[in-house]
């Protein structure tokens, strides 16, 4: 599948919108999928840089499950997005105006730039990272960005996967999952994916080299994990939470590690899904640990250095789907929760970084 | 409270039963508390030692929540007790006959001796540990046995508690909980207990030096933990699971550790209680880890060596309640689940070790 590029090919919004700044703001707390009932597009002038500020022309938005978490009423590891604020999301853009010595015009920057055409950054709370030139923008937001780095630290730092172990991963065909499963394979583990369509299962097995993949929509996950992992699951990389987490907890090996990366089944749910098998952590002397990429900022270079040769020699492949047009950000985010995606999803806001 | 001794003072069963071997066997899987409907006392001759075997006269039985876990249909970290078998429980006794070179007559031995007057041990599957002379039998089954050692490894090895941290413990007045909370206090932590009566709360605060204690039957645990731990819970030592686990998960500090020792709310429940707040492990980059004392066999001496001076100088106090009579084992086990106990419960089967 490699580098998939499709989406709204007719979206001419970029050109049309370049004279105004569109901002997609949250008007109320969403219930389930997002849509017009909770979002509003506000048009205004392109912002000007105040003293100590710079203006970024958005190029690509990263579409991540956590965007939806931040819209909830409750604070998570970050405060909830206030009603009336632009939707929070990571993105990549180019500095087009600056009155801040950290940023020069033309710099490629990565930060929580939000669902808008232009973002204001500064040296403080709204700082962004200047990206060294040379890497394709879509790679910075995927394999060398949150997706690849989350996969790397989850597999190696949190789960401490060892060769010969059995590794199970949910959300197997997603941005993080598809990379994490391959990293596990490269580390010498037996890799079992869990995904939501036969096509996704086929992709991770045939193209990405997983040993097997369970379609959770048509198969009994607990029974299939048990059958595929007769000696138990040494590492479970959890992207979904809920029932699938329970099914894997019922099949842990002694000394198992559950690296909790996400809980996509929770984010759009009205109430949190229950988990029943936590006592298996005692029966199996197992560990369940949550992690956030944010905590690894000072080790990004280490992970990028490890990923780069794997990408260059072709042992690690990754899929990026680029959807054109800021206006498609809400629908693209929803696809994370309806399972209608493979690999990493990006929204292209402009060609400023191409 | 210190060393409480009460129970069935009129139980003369020991003398009466010394010519027969009473065995309390499981006749069906219990539902909730145990009783005559699932247990039967079978009388028979005192067993004789076959080649490679020894006979142990039971002295004290350890009454532990896990006894009830082993009666369930499902295997846990050990196989379920088969229907018709004697109830599995740790106990201490004295070797009265031997044809096994590991055991000499008069040896004090500790092992899974079961709810019976006499147990058969060997050098293999039914081995027991010979206890060096000098320690009181009740101490071997409490502070220097499963209770104290579980508390020690849970606090120091699993939770890795550090001075200045906030430590919360459920089952605070129980055998493990009352010791673990004191070990946390001695390690320099702020200690908040959770227990089921005002009397238990008073005991752990006034006599054991906890900083506070929440009565989960009369107070809102989530609100009280939040109020008492404004900077979050660094370590939660979980003995109960279920709702209380959820309430503490909602109040974790960043980097928190949840040491899962037991889940007493689960063992007599018809179905497993749900846990909803597992995603807090991600929000707080926290770790939840189950452990079993069994895995620390080779480090018992280290822990006993650490506990001994604390007991001798009086900084660590512990309560042991001895109930007389094997026939009272079922009712005594039930008290763990109805909360009618403080400290460690033992059943005295005979005075062989006094």
Flag whether A2 is in a domain: no
Both A190 and A159 in one domain: the answer is: yes
Taking a C-beta distance cutoff of 8 angstroms, is the pair A292, A77 a contact? yes
Same domain, B133 and B160: no
Does B209 or A8 have the greater pLDDT score?
B209
Mean of per-residue pLDDT scores for chain B? 92
Residue in chain B nearest A69 by alpha carbon: B283
**CA separation for the pair B292, A61 (Å, rounded):** 46
CATH of the domain at B282: 3.40.50.720
Q: How far is CA A15 from the centre of its chain?
A: 27
CA-based nearest residue to A350, from A56, A103, A87: A56
Check residue A19 and give its pLDDT.
80
Q: Tell me the nearest-neighbour CA distance from A263 into chain B, angstroms.
A: 7
Q: Which of A201-205, A345-349, B342-346 has the lowest mean pLDDT?
A: B342-346
Q: Which structural domain range is residue A329 located in?
A: 13-136+319-348
> Are A278 and B77 in contact (CB < 8 Å)?
no
pLDDT of residue A18: 60
- Whether residue A150 is found in the same domain as residue A132: no
pLDDT of residue B13: 44
Query: Does the structure show a pLDDT above 50 at A84?
Result: yes
Residue with tokens 């147990």: B119
pLDDT in the model for residue B175: 93
ipTM over 0.90: no
Q: Which residue of A76, A273, A281 is in closest CB contact with B260?
A: A281
pLDDT at B5 over 80: no
Nearest to B286 among A271, A273, A290 (CB): A290
Tell me, yes or no, if B274 comes closer than 8 A to chain A by beta carbon: yes
Average pLDDT over residues A214-241: 97
Q: Considering the domain boundaries, does residue A128 fall inside one?
A: yes
CA distances from B114 to B37, B64, B120, B205 (A): 19, 12, 10, 35
Q: Within a domain: residue B53? A: yes
> Residue B290 and residue A277: Cβ atoms within 8 Å?
no
Give the whole-angstrom CA distance, residue B25 versus residue A194: 44
- B287-290/A287-290 β-pairing: antiparallel
Q: Chain-wide mean pLDDT for chain A? A: 92
Mean pLDDT, residues A213-237: 98
pLDDT digits (tens, 9 = 90+) for B95-135: 999 999 999 999 999 999 999 999 999 999 999 999 988 88
Looking at chain B, the whole-number percentage of residues with pLDDT higher than 70 is 95
Contact between A156 and A150 under an 8 Å Cβ cutoff? The reply is: no
Chain A nearest C-alpha distance from B274 (Å): 5
- Whether the CB of A72 is below 8 Å from some CB of chain B: the reply is no
Is A281 in the same domain as A343?
A: no
Closest partner residue to B276 among A76, A272, A279, by Cβ? Answer: A272
Residue A341: inside a domain: yes
The partner residues of B309 in beta bridges, in order of sequence, read none
**pLDDT tens, residue by residue, A232-263:** 999 999 999 999 999 999 999 999 999 999 98
Give φ, ψ of A247 to 5 degrees: -65, -35
3-state DSSP assignment of residue A97: strand
Cross-chain residue pair B287–A287, CB shorter than 8 Å = yes
Total tally of structural domains belonging to chain B: 2
- Co-location of B136 and B61 in the same domain: yes
- Could you tell me if B290 and B338 lie in one domain? no
Q: For residues A70 and A150, give the distance between their C-alpha atoms in angstroms, rounded to a whole number.
A: 18
Sort out which chain A residues have CB atoms less than 8 A from B292's CB and list them: 282, 285
- Shared domain for A87 and A37, answered yes or no, is yes
What confidence category does residue A181 fall into, taking pLDDT thresholds of 50, 70 and 90? very high
Residues B203 and B327 in one domain: no
- % of residues, chain A, pLDDT over 70: 95
Q: Return the pLDDT at A219.
A: 98
Lowest-pLDDT choice from A12-21, A287-296, B94-103, B118-127:
A12-21
- For residue B340, the model assigns a pLDDT of 87
pLDDT band (50, 70, 90) for residue B18: low
Query: Are B174 and B277 in a shared domain?
Result: yes
Residue B134: its pLDDT value, please? 84
Q: Which residue has the higher pLDDT, A263 or B1?
A: A263
Structure tokens at A170: 């949910």
* CA dihedral over B132, B134, B140, B145, signed as positive or negative: negative
| Token pair for B132 | 């060096």
| B166-203 pLDDT per residue, tens | 999 999 999 999 999 999 999 999 999 999 999 999 99
Cα-to-chain-centroid distance, residue B34:
17
The answer to whether A292 contacts B280, with C-beta atoms less than 8 Å apart, is no
| Partner-chain contact A282 B276, CB within 8 Å | no
Residues of B in contact with A263 (CB under 8 A): 278-279, 282
Answer whether residue A250 is part of any domain: yes
For residue B7, the model assigns a pLDDT of: 34
Tell whether A6 is covered by a domain: no
Q: pLDDT tens digit string along B149-176?
A: 999 999 999 999 999 999 999 999 999 9
Q: Within an 8 Å CB–CB cutoff, is residue A79 touching chain B?
A: no
The pLDDT score that the predictor gives to residue B15 is 44
Minimal Cβ distance to B288: which of A245, A273, A281: A281
Between residues A330 and A8, which one has the greater pLDDT?
A: A330
What CATH code is carried by the domain that includes residue A330?
3.90.180.10
Tell me the chain A residues in contact with residue B261 when contact means C-beta distances shorter than 8 Å. Answer: 282
Burial profile A4-33: b = 16 or more Cβ within 10 angstroms, e = fewer: eeebbeebebbeebeeebbbbbbeeebeeb
Asked, for residue B6, whether it belongs to a domain, the answer is no
Query: pLDDT value at position A71?
Result: 96
Residue by residue, DSSP assigns A135-171 as S-HHHHTTTTSHHHHHHHIIIIIIS---TT-EEEEES
B150 and B280 both lie in a single domain:
yes
Residue that is last in its domain, among A254, A279, A294:
A294
A262 and chain B: CB distance < 8 Å anywhere?
A: yes
A29 touching B (Cβ < 8 Å) = no
Verify that A164 and A279 share a domain, yes or no.
Answer: yes
Same domain, B241 and B212: yes
Residue A122 pLDDT greater than 80, yes or no: yes
Determine, yes or no, domain membership for A1: no
Nearest to B283 among A77, A272, A289 (CB): A77
Contact A284/B262, CB-based, under 8 Å?
no
Does residue B290 belong to the interface with chain A, where contact is any CB pair within 8 Å?
Answer: yes
Please name the member of B275, B282, B291 whose beta carbon is closest to the beta carbon of A290. B282
Contact A282 B290 (CB under 8 A): yes
Average pLDDT over residues B317-328: 96
With CA atoms as reference, the chain A residue closest to B281 would be A290
């Amino acid at each position: 599948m490699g580098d998939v590029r499709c989406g709204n090919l007719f979206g001419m919004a970029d050109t049309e919108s370049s004279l105004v700044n569109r901002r997609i703001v949250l008007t109320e707390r969403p219930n389930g999928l997002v849509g017009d009932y909770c979002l509003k597009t506000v048009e205004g002038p392109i912002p000007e840089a105040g003293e100590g500020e710079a203006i970024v022309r958005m190029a690509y938005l990263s579409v991540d499950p956590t965007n939806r978490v931040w819209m909830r009423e409750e604070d998570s590891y970050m405060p909830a997005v206030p009603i009336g604020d632009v939707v929070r999301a990571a993105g990549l853009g180019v500095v087009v105006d600056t009155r801040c010595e950290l940023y020069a015009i033309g710099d490629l920057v990565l930060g929580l730039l939000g669902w808008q055409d232009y973002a204001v950054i500064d040296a403080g709370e709204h700082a962004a990272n200047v990206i060294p030139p040379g890497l394709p923008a879509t790679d910075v937001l995927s394999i060398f960005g949150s997706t690849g780095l989350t996969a790397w630290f989850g597999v190696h730092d949190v789960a401490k996967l060892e060769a010969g172990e059995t590794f199970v991963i949910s959300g197997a065909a997603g941005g993080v999952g598809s990379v994490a499963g391959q990293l596990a394979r490269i580390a010498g583990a037996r890799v079992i994916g869990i995904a939501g369509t036969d096509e996704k299962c086929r992709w991770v097995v045939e193209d990405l080299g997983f040993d097997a993949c369970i379609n959770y929509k048509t198969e009994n996950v607990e029974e299939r994990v048990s059958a595929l992992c007769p000696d138990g699951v040494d590492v479970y990389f959890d992207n979904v939470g809920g029932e699938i987490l329970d099914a894997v907890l019922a099949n842990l090996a002694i000394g198992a590690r559950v690296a909790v990366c996400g809980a996509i089944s929770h984010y759009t749910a009205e109430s949190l899904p229950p988990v029943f098998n936590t006592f298996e952590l005692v029966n199996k002397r197992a560990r369940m640990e949550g992690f956030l990429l944010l905590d690894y900022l000072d080790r990004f270079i280490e992970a990028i250095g490890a990923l780069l040769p794997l990408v260059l020699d072709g042992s690690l492949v990754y899929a990026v789907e680029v959807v054109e047009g800021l206006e498609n950000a809400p629908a693209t985010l929803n696809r994370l929760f309806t399972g209608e995606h493979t690999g990493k999803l990006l929204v292209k806001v402009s060609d400023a970084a191409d």
